[in-house]
Each structure stands twice: as C-alpha cells, then as structure tokens.
Amino acid sequence: MTSTTSNTPNVTSNIKLLGHDILLISVMAILAGCGLIYEYLLSHYAGRILGSVESAIYAMIGTMIVAMGIGAFLARWFKDPFTAFAWLESLIALLGMTSILIIASIIALSYTLPHTFSSLYNLPADAVIDGQVFESFQGVARFLPYIFGLMLGIFIGMEIPLIARIRQHVYGRFLENNAGTIYGADYIGAGIGAAIWVMIMLALPIMQAAAWTALFNIVAGLIFLWRYHQHVRFAKLLLVCHLLLLGLFVILLSYGSSWMKDLSNVLYKDKVIYSESTKYQHVVVTERLSRTQTAPINDLFLNGRLQFSSADEQIYHTMLVYPAMLAANRHDKVLIIGGGDGLALRDVLKWPVKEATLIDLDGQLLSLFGLQGQPFPALPHITEKLSGLNNDALNDPRATVIVADAFLEVEKMLDQGRLFDSIIIDLPDPNHPDLNKLYSDYFYNHVRQLLAPDGALSIQSTSPYHAKNAFISIAKTVKHAGFTHVEQYQQNIPSFGQWGWTIATRAGQPASERIKQIAEFPVPSNWVNQDYLQAAFAFPNLFFENNKAIEVNRLGTGVLYDYYRQAWQTEAELYKN
C-alpha cells in the first residue's frame, strides 16, 4: 500500500508534464507554420512590387533567416521568458497581419505625393514635380518588404529560445533533449505551413491570407496566456490586446482586400475598372477616354506589366498572327499557346480556319475575356467590354479552349499525334522563372513536332531594343530545337516601343521568302501589306554582331530569364540617371 501511494504523485506529475509538453510543442509547431507563411507572404508581395520575382523571393528568405539568427541571440536579454513570449506573439500577429497593408499604403503615398504637390501649387495638369527627394522616397518605400521581413524575422527568431527556457522552467531541471524537441516541432510546423501555403493561401487574396495566418498566432497566444497567466506580467492588459487583435482580424478580413485594391489602383495612371488576383497572377484592367477614339481605351496589366492597350493592340496581334498564317501552306488547324485575352484567336479566325485550339493556364482570365462555362463569378459589365475587343472569339464554334499548363498539354498532343498548320505562341515576357520553361529548347522541340512540315511558327519575343540579348536568345533556342529556318522581325507598338517576334519553318523556304511570293494577301488587313512586312525583317547594321556569345535557353538553365532581368534592370538604371 505504501509503495502504491508513493507512486501516485509521480504519475500525476508525469501526466501534468505531458500536458505542458503537448501544449508547448503544439504552440511551437503552430507558430513555426505561421512564421513560414509570413515569409512567403512578404516574398510574394516583394516580388509583385519589385518586379524581379526570383531575386525578391531569395532576398526575402535570406533576410528573414539572418534576422531569425539575430532574434535568437537577442532572446537572452529577456529575464522573464513567460512574459516575453506572451507579448511577442501579440506583436508578431500585429505585424504579420498589417505589414503588407502598411507597405502598400506607403508605396501608394510615395507615388501620389508628386501629384499632390503639383495640385497644391496649381501647376499645369501635365506638369508633375519630380526630383531626388521623391525618387528616394519611392526607393525606400519599395524596400519596405525587407525592413518588415527583418523585423518579423527577429521576433520569430526569439520564439525557440524563449519556449525552450519555458519548457525547462516547467520541468524544473535541465532537459538534455530540449533543443531537439523544440526544433523538431519547429520543422514539422514549418512543413505543415508550407503545405497550407501551397494548397490554401495561394488561392486567397493576400490580405485574407495574412489575416488568417495572424489568427493562428492570436489563438496560440491566448492558449499560452490561459495556461501560464500566473507567470505573465500584465496578463489582463495582454488579454485586452489579444481581444483588440481579434477585432482587427475581423476588420482586415472584411475590408483588407478592398483597401489593398484601392492602394494598388493608385499605382496606375488610368481608372482601374477591374483588379483581382487569380490563382496564377494579379490582373488589372484600366480605362481612359481619348479625344481621338470614340470608345474608351482599355489596358490589361498582369502582375503590374502592360500586356496590351486597345489603342494599338491591333498592330501587335497583326504582326504576331499574319506572318505565320501567310507563311503556312494551309490554314485548317491552328494552335495558339497563351493569348488568354482571345485577341490572337480573333485574328486567326479571320482566316478560313476549320479548327483553332487555344491553351492557357488561367481559367479566370479566360472567363474575364468572355469564355463561357468557367466556374468563376460573372462580371457582365467588364466581360462585355473585353469580349467586344476579341469579337467573342473564345466562344466561336471553331475554337477549342483548353485550360491547362501548355508545357504538359503539348506533350499530351504529341502522344495523340496532333499536327497543326500554324502555331502561334503569345506568352508574357520571360520575366518569371516559371515562364522560362515555355521558352526552352525542350519545349520548342516538342512544338516543332506538332507543326506540319509546310507550316509556320510565330513567337512573341520581347523587345529587340530594350532586351536585345533575350530577343536573340529566343531565336537561337528555336534554331537549336531543330527548325530549319529561323528569322526575326520587329515593329513599333506605341504602348510598348520597339517590339519583336520570331518566325520559324521546318522545311522548304524561310517564312520571309514564302511571304514575298504572295501577290495578294488572302485576308485583307488594315495594318500590313507586302512592303510593310518585308521591311519588318530588316535590322540595323551590327545588330547581330554578338550573336555567337548569346546562349541557347536550355531547360533548367534560366539563361533567358537572366538575360531579360539584366536588360530591364539596366534600362531602369539608364532612365534613372
């Protein structure tokens, strides 16, 4: 009896310690997941506003890892780990929930300030104050994601040392495997956070993702406060702070996304009539009135980059579509890769086409431009404008629209033995690592096998003026993929400046020779004629003098992405100076 009675307190004590362990390790895992999602949120937003997505993501991850190391060192300054940890969680929740909104507000202010001063001093409408002060302010504002990443990283880095000290305090002795237990919970929690980011958060508006993540921080903080309130100083005040944070969570969940839209819209010159983040990109449509056109002018921006302006998109799409259609021997079957706005498809359907297949990844974008049967909210007033631009081409009975990754879909078509008379590739510029594969030798080799021997391929190939090496690299990559004749041509598009395309054939004559032999274009155009097109194939003297030094964009190398990024960074510095 005595032995049984003496063992009872030990069993009770072990059960209590197990309860403490479950709570502390669970809290640590939750916080690790939240920390990783905050890192991804800031990286994602930094890439959106800084333009160079890959560099921004790597820089943010590096910044936060270093900051977490600093935080781990700084944690030793706090003598009371319970109080420090409890207050730390409320601070992380506050910063995590509001940092992106604060950054967006300051960036919007930096861009509106020159116009505000112009209005204040009654300057003419076309005169905007510009100078070093405003440029510096804009530069600092765009650097803010890293500043907030540094702060969040420091606070997140304090969590592990503090919770390790709390765990030892609960046990009342030195724990040999304390660090391993805490780090194990941290790694597992981070892995779960990464899965949540990919499967759930990426599909949410960025402010909703930030708010939901912060909620887990708040709940973890409340659970900790409930269990260890007797060890926490100012516990009642901290409880009030958590309740206020819950109120802020509700407000940001309800209004944060609309506030972010309003702040983002400030960055566009014209009136924003549509602004949404799809699963793959941020889509903005603007509108302005013109003295020279009766209809309003609409511009499409993807991730902040202009994709077309209705004022001059006809020039771009004519130069993309007509050369390939003219150079092809037949026009029965046409494949369009990209071009989710339906404008290239509109021009293809002007020809005697029996079947036009379009592949685009973003079903929400296709729905916006009029494709019916997509599971996205209807926006009749916007879709009516945009489908008017493409003549409702996406719903033409001759058109087959496939919502899929073109990289994978092309392989499926090869397995099916499909062949096309013309193939038109109308993808965004290679400004993101994910797009690089669609400009690779591997992809072009598969495209070549889909093209009929007497067919023609045309590719939008960025600017030969602003991104010369990237432009030439595309042609070299197409040639490396096995096309017999590869040529490039250019034209000025007022909205873009000088722009370029690549055209290739598998056999027979080069495309330019085929076009030259056509006495009369079978489909009249408001823009192109024989002389106009032949002139487009001419380039300045020495334009291709460094051709040998420019590399082929092989799958997995990122050569083209690097050429493109370096070119536009150089241009930015050129115009800044």
Is 277 found in the same domain as 249? no
Residue 279 lies in a domain: yes
Q: For residues 528 and 124, give the distance between their C-alpha atoms in angstroms, rounded to a whole number.
A: 39
Is 356 found in the same domain as 258? no
DSSP string, 115-166: HHHHHHTT--TT----SHHHHHHHHHHHHHHHHHHHHHHHHHHHHHHHHHHH
Say if residue 575's pLDDT is above 50: no
* 229 marked ligand binding residue: no
Q: What is the pLDDT of residue 138?
A: 72
What's the whole-number average pLDDT of the chain? 88
Residue 2 lies in a domain: no
Is 290 found in the same domain as 330? no
Q: What is the pLDDT of residues 421-432, one digit of tens each?
A: 999 999 999 887
Under a CB-based contact definition with an 8 Å cutoff, are residues 345 and 356 in contact? yes
Q: How are the residues of the chain apportioned to helix, strand and coil, as percentages rounded to the nearest 5?
A: 60, 15, 25
Say if residue 379's pLDDT is above 90: no
Say if residue 23's pLDDT is above 70: yes
Residue 237 lies in a domain: yes
* 381 marked ligand binding residue: no
Q: What is the pLDDT of residue 11?
A: 58
Is 293 found in the same domain as 198? no
DSSP string, 497-542: EEEEEEEEESSSS-HHHHHHT-SS-SS--SS--HHHHHHHT---TT
Domain with residue 513: its CATH number is: 3.40.50.150
Is 472 found in the same domain as 398? yes
Say if residue 1's pLDDT is above 70: no
Q: What is the 3-state secondary structure (H, E, C) of 348-410?
A: HCCCCCCEEEEEECCHHHHHHCCCCCCCCCCCHHHHHHHHHHCCCHHHCCCEEEEECCHHHHH
Q: What's the average model confidence in pLDDT over 516-533?
A: 90
Residue 299's H or E segment, with its range, is strand 297-302
* 406 marked ligand binding residue: yes
* 490 marked ligand binding residue: no
Q: For residues 33 and 44, give the distance between their C-alpha atoms in angstroms, rounded to a whole number.
A: 16
Is 456 found in the same domain as 393? yes
Burial of 18 (0-12, 13-18, 19+ CB in 10 A): exposed
Q: What's the average model confidence in pLDDT over 203-226?
A: 91
Say if residue 17's pLDDT is above 90: no
Catalytic residues: 426
Q: What is the pLDDT of residues 282-334, one digit of tens each?
A: 889 999 887 777 788 999 998 888 899 999 999 999 999 999 999 999 999 99
Is 138 found in the same domain as 37? yes
Is 392 found in the same domain as 280? no
Record the pTM. 0.80
Report the domain count for the chain. 3
Is 275 found in the same domain as 349? no
Q: What percent of the chain has pLDDT over 70?
A: 91
Query: pLDDT category, 368, cuts 50, 70, 90?
Result: very high
* 433 marked ligand binding residue: yes
* 270 marked ligand binding residue: no
Is 279 found in the same domain as 224? no
DSSP string, 194-250: HHHHHHTGGGS-HHHHHHHHHHHHHHHHHHHHHHHGGGSTTHHHHHHHHHHHHHHHH
DSSP string, 306-356: EEEETTTHHHHHHHHHHHHHHHSS--SEEEEEE-TTSHHHHHHTTS--SEE
Q: For residues 233 and 225, give the distance between their C-alpha atoms in angstroms, rounded to a whole number.
A: 10
Number of Cβ atoms within 10 Å of the Cβ of 362: 17
* 397 marked ligand binding residue: no
Alpha carbon distances (Å) from 430 to 215, 305, 433, 532, 568: 37, 12, 7, 28, 12
Strand-pairing partners, residue 311, are none
**Which residues constitute the domain of residue 217?**
7-265
Residue 1 lies in a domain: no
Biggest CA-to-CA distance, the chain: 112
Residue 147 lies in a domain: yes
Q: Is the dihedral of CA 572, 45, 426, 345 positive or negative?
A: negative
Query: pLDDT category, 198, cuts 50, 70, 90?
Result: confident
Is 185 found in the same domain as 149? yes
Strand-pairing partners, residue 130, are none
Is 341 found in the same domain as 202? no
